[in-house]
Chains A and B, each alone.
Chain A
Amino acid sequence: MADSAPMAVAAGLPAIEPEAEIRRPWRDAWRRFLAHRGGLVGLVILLLWIFIAIAAPLIAPYDPNALAGRARQAPSLLHWFGTDQLGRDLFSRVLHGSRISLALGVISVGFGLVPGVALGLAAGYFGGWVDALISRFVDAMLAFPSIILALIIIATLGPGIFNVMVAVGIAAIPEYARLMRGSVLAVKSQPYVEAAWLVGNKPFRIMVRHIFVNANAPLLVFTTLQIGNAILVGAGLSFLGLGAQPPTAEWGLMSSEGRQFLQRAWWISAFPALATLTVVIAFNLLGDGLRAGLDPKLRAR
């Protein structure tokens, strides 16, 4: 959020005119975001995890896939999180696991966001039979709990971490479409949209330049929350054996591998799960903070 100024430019907001009342929506939003302490906490945790993901090979004390000692050692100064069922250093594996989880969150959201937003824009903008057709399909897709939808997609593509990303992403398409459609309907009747149409802009340009940029605040909030959710669902699918395969250092898979040693070596499943929890909670806090920042009406709640 540090680059709020360029974002304002990209959003096509009017330049500040000296005689007009000075309005800085992004700066105000940033201020409200700061006032919502949870959002800031989320942002800090998240930045920390991003740093860990980038620097994992440098800061991890051991090779995540190499044997570092006796199997199932309890946490100690030598092995902060202990060693796993094979004797690999759990701390190093958890650090490396952040790469997969963050990538999963971002990539899968891309698979949901792009088609979902396109469908929602089209439905909201064109209305009529286009809207009827898209909305019926979206409603029917919403009849599936999203993990179930992800499961059928994995059944078709086959298990694997990349397929999990695709599946979790596709499963979010209906929610994106519904959200975007609602935002479009709210913005569509604004005078500036009519003006854009009257001066002869093509529908695609109007949708992208005038409607989308003015309807993206809820989208940003939802996307943040959805990244967290995708990480959670993705880890769950890996836990079930449908995602990452051994010996990958992936949190869900690691928790699942520790399951049979739960009684004697609780740390094998606990630390990766704790890592998942902190990342997901960071996204949830950040999402709520963004909502507080971007939607002043909700702040009064």
Chain B
Amino acid sequence: MGSYILGRIIQLIPVLFLISVIVFGIMHLLPGDPALLMLAGAEGGAIPPERLAQLREQMGLNDPLLVQFWHFISGAVVGDLGESLRFREPVLAMILDRLGSTVELAVAGLFCSLLIGVPLGILASVRQGGWIDTICMTLSYLGASLPVYWLGLILVFFFAFNLGWFPSSGGGSIEQLILPALSLGLINAGLIARLVRSSMVEVLGEDYMRTGRAKGLPPRLLLWRHGIKNAMIPVVTMVGLQFGNMLAGTVVTETVFSRPGVGRLIVNAIIAKDYPLVQGAVLLLAVIYVSVNLLVDILYAFLDPRIRYGR
């Protein structure tokens, strides 16, 4: 097991390197001049060429690309992601300040989607073609097609404005977490339910289930011990991928609910042309996402011994 974990961590290094190459590559190779964008955003009107040249020099945009990349990656390795152009603060500190709130939202959203999706998927698989199955299917279509901002607005309209149960915006308290988490969770619950359902359907058709039935195990025990337990294994992998969806979803959700967080930070930074801030925040989110998936893979190897002995 130890060598498996170590192997997976070592595999992570080239991925992290490539992620930074991609972030850097997109921001530097695509047509679009950050200095020009910044000046247009900050000052507007006609931009004096000497001012542009000065800013380009200041931002190091005149250095060869490889030199710029070296500055970027050597900084990133030691946690120096540069300084925000707008706030004159270290990017890493700004992100870490808001990361807690975003992770809290993503985890709560994931929890909601599992809480709704897993039981729904199990029930749908046990009674295939029944009304729960229909709900499961409808929810998965709605989840894949509903704009997440609208679901947020609907929740605000009913639960904050009309019923007054929860506040409509802000962050920090549990009450303020519920609506955003619910909107993220509901969107993804259908996907989870569908996955759980298909995994369950597969397990229910296995030989050991038939054997269990034949030897007279109580149906409930059979379902729990042999059915659900085995069906959950592939779901674990999905949770890692879902966490990425949740992180991405926070970008919109945080804006709808005016919650402080990394997602909103990125959006505001894009509007304000705060280049280093965008770059750093995106890089950090990708690193978190990859690390979570690594953890999930390791967990998976714990749950399913075939994985670690198979290789």
Shortest Cβ-Cβ A-B pairs, 7 listed:
A140-B18, A145-B248, A273-B150, A281-B145, A280-B145, A155-B278, A145-B244
Asked if A66 is an interface residue, CB under 8 A from chain B, the answer is: no
**Within the complex, which residue of A155, A235, A269 is in contact with B275, where a contact is CB–CB below 8 Å?**
A155
The verdict on A263 contacting chain B, using a C-beta distance below 8 Å, is: yes
Q: Is B124 part of the binding interface, using a Cβ–Cβ cutoff of 8 Å?
A: no
Instruction: Please state if B289 and A140 are interface contacts (CB–CB under 8 Å).
Output: no
7 contacts between A and B (CB under 8 A): A149-B26, A151-B278, A156-B30, A156-B34, A159-B271, A277-B147, A284-B145
Annotate B272-308 by CB proximity to A: 1 below 8 A, 0 otherwise: 0101001100100110011001000000000000000
State whether A147 touches B251 (Cβ < 8 A).
yes
- A259 CA / B145 CA spacing, docked (Å): 20
Chain A residues engaging chain B, CB cutoff 8 angstroms: 136-137, 139-141, 143-149, 151-159, 228-229, 232, 235-236, 239-242, 252, 255-256, 259, 262-263, 266, 269-270, 273-274, 276-277, 280-281, 284-285, 301
B269 CB contacts on chain A under 8 angstroms? 155
Complex contacts, A159 vs chain B, CB 8 Å: 270-271
Contact of A136 among B14, B251, B273, B285 (CB under 8 A): B14
* Chain A residues, CB < 8 A from B285: 144-145, 148
| Complex Cα gap A144–B26 (Å) | 13
CA distance A64 to B188 in the complex (A): 34
User: Which of B58-66, B153-161, B217-225, B229-237 lies at the interface with chain A?
Assistant: B153-161
Q: Which residue of A lies closest to B156 (CB)?
A: A262
Least CB distance, B38 to chain A, in whole angstroms: 11
CA distance A162 to B275 in the complex (A): 20
1/0 per residue, CB under 8 A from A, across B1-45: the answer is: 000000000000011001101110011001110100100000000
Check if A153 sits within 8 Å of B286, measured CB to CB.
no
A-chain residues with CB within 8 Å of residue B270 when the two chains form the complex:
151, 154-155, 159, 242
A284 to B140, CA, bound (A): 10
Query: Is the pair B27, A255 in contact by a Cβ cutoff of 8 Å?
Result: no
A266 to B160, CA, bound (A): 14
**Would you call B149 and A143 a contact (CB within 8 A)?**
no
Majority secondary structure of chain B interface residues (helix, strand, loop or mixed): helix
Cβ A259 vs Cβ B153 within 8 A = yes
**CB neighbours of B146 from chain A (8 A):** 277, 280
Which residues on B are within 8 Å of A, measured CB to CB?
14-15, 18-19, 21-23, 26-27, 30-32, 34, 37, 141-142, 144-150, 153, 156-157, 161, 198, 244-245, 247-248, 251-252, 255-256, 266-267, 269-271, 273, 275, 278-279, 282, 285-286, 289-290, 293
Complex: A285 Cα to B137 Cα, angstroms: 11
Contact A266 B157, beta carbon cutoff 8 Å:
yes
Determine the chain A residues whose CB is within 8 A of the CB of B245 once the complex forms. 145
Which of B14, B18, B144, B252 makes the CB contact (< 8 A) with A240? B252
Q: In the complex, what's the smallest C-beta–C-beta distance from B137 to chain A, in angstroms? A: 9
Which residues of B are found within 8 Å of A147, using beta-carbon distances? 248, 251
Main secondary structure on chain A at its contact with chain B? helix
Q: Closest approach, in angstroms, between the C-beta of B209 and any C-beta of chain A?
A: 18
Determine if A151 and B266 form an interchain contact, defined as CB atoms under 8 angstroms apart: yes
B278 x A269 contact (CB < 8 A): no
Closest residue of chain B to A145 (Cβ to Cβ) is B248
Contact A239 B282, beta carbon cutoff 8 Å: no
Among A157, A236, A263, residue most surrounded by chain B Cβ atoms (within 10 Å): A236
Beyond contacts A136-B14, A242-B267, A262-B157: 5 other A-B pairs, Cβ-Cβ < 8 A, are A145-B244, A157-B31, A242-B271, A280-B146, A284-B144
CB of B231 to closest CB in A, whole Å: 16
Find out whether the CB atom of B141 lies under 8 angstroms from the CB atom of A284. yes
**Complex Cα gap A211–B212 (Å):** 46
Whether A236 and B149, one on each chain, are in contact in the complex, defined by CB atoms closer than 8 angstroms, is: yes
Nearest Cβ distance between residue B240 and chain A, in whole angstroms? 11
A148 touches B286 (CB 8 A): yes
C-alpha spacing A277/B149, complex, angstroms = 11
- Nearest residue in A to B140 (C-beta to C-beta)? A284
CA distance A248 to B72 in the complex (A): 38
Is B157 a contact of A241 with CB atoms below 8 Å?
Answer: no
Most buried by A among B18, B149, B198, B279: B149
Contacting residues, chain A, for B248 (C-beta < 8 A): 145-148
Is A277 in contact with B271, judged by CB distance below 8 angstroms? no
In the bound complex, residues from chain B placing their C-beta under 8 Å from that of A136 are: 14, 18
Within the complex, the shortest CB–CB distance from A279 to chain B, in Å, comes to 8
**Interface pair A141/B266, CB less than 8 Å apart:** no
Q: Is the CB of B149 within 8 A of A239?
A: yes
Known contacts A153-B30, A155-B27, A242-B271, A273 near B278 by CB under 8 Å: no
Q: Find the residue from A147, A155, A156, A259 having the highest chain B CB count within 10 A.
A: A155
Query: In the assembly, what is the distance between CA of A284 and CA of B32, in Å?
Result: 34
* Contact of B32 with A156 in the complex, beta carbons under 8 Å: yes
For residue B282, which residues in chain A have a CB less than 8 angstroms away from its CB?
Answer: 144, 148, 151-152
Query: How far is the CB of B274 from the nearest CB of chain A, in Å?
Result: 9
From B147, B156, B290, A232 is in contact (CB under 8 Å) with B147
CB closest chain-B residue, reference A275: B147
Q: Are A255 and B149 in contact (CB under 8 A)?
A: yes
